Structure 1
Amino acid sequence: MNCILCKHGETAPGFVTVTLQRGETTVILKGVPASICENCGEYYLDEAVASQVYAMAERAVQDGAEVEIRRYAA
């Protein structure tokens, strides 16, 4: 797939670190599978992975976490 952001690079499968913030909560998820642009480094999550990432972040917010660092697990 061509990168939507830079329009020059091709994406390839890999793993990224995703950082999400809401209010006072910061969630860092390591080892998230994604398609990564070889040119600019922009990454794209498929729908199932994105849903899981958001669910993990929502749990952290609900638990009142200030900073949570986790390894992604499918």
Structure 2
Amino acid sequence: MQCVICKYGNTQPGFVTVTLERDHTIIILKGVPAEVCNNCGEYYLDTAVTEQVLQRAEVEILRYAA
């Protein structure tokens, strides 16, 4: 597929790191399968992978309290 961001590269299967941020919490998921642009590095997740990423992001976040 041609990259919709840079319009020059084509995507290839690969793995990426997805960073999600909500309020003051950051969740990092490494090794997520994606289609990655060979020119600019933009990545695209398919529907099934997106659903899995969002499910795994629903974790309990605990704040440190002294």
Name structure 1 gaps, 5 residues minimum.
67-74
CA contact (8 A) 1:25 1:65 kept: no
Deviation digits for residues 40-61 of structure 1 (CA, Å, limit 9, x no counterpart): 00000000000110111122xx
Q: Point out where structure 2 has 5 or more consecutive residues left out of the alignment.
A: none
Runs of 4+ in 1 over 4 A off after TM superposition: none
Query: Is structure 2 residue 12 aligned with structure 1 residue 3?
Result: no
Q: Which structure's CA Rg is the greater one? A: 2
Partner of 1:40: 40
Correspondence list, 1:1-74, <5 A? 1-59=1-59, 63-65=60-62
Paired positions, count: 63
TM-score, length basis structure 1: 0.80
The RMSD of aligned alpha carbons is: 1.1
Letter paired with 2:6: C
Higher RCO structure, 1 or 2 (CA under 8 Å, sep 6+): 1
Query: What percentage of residue pairs aligned between the two structures are identical?
Result: 60
Deviations 1:9-42 (Å, cap 9, x if unpaired)?
0000000000000012100000000000000000
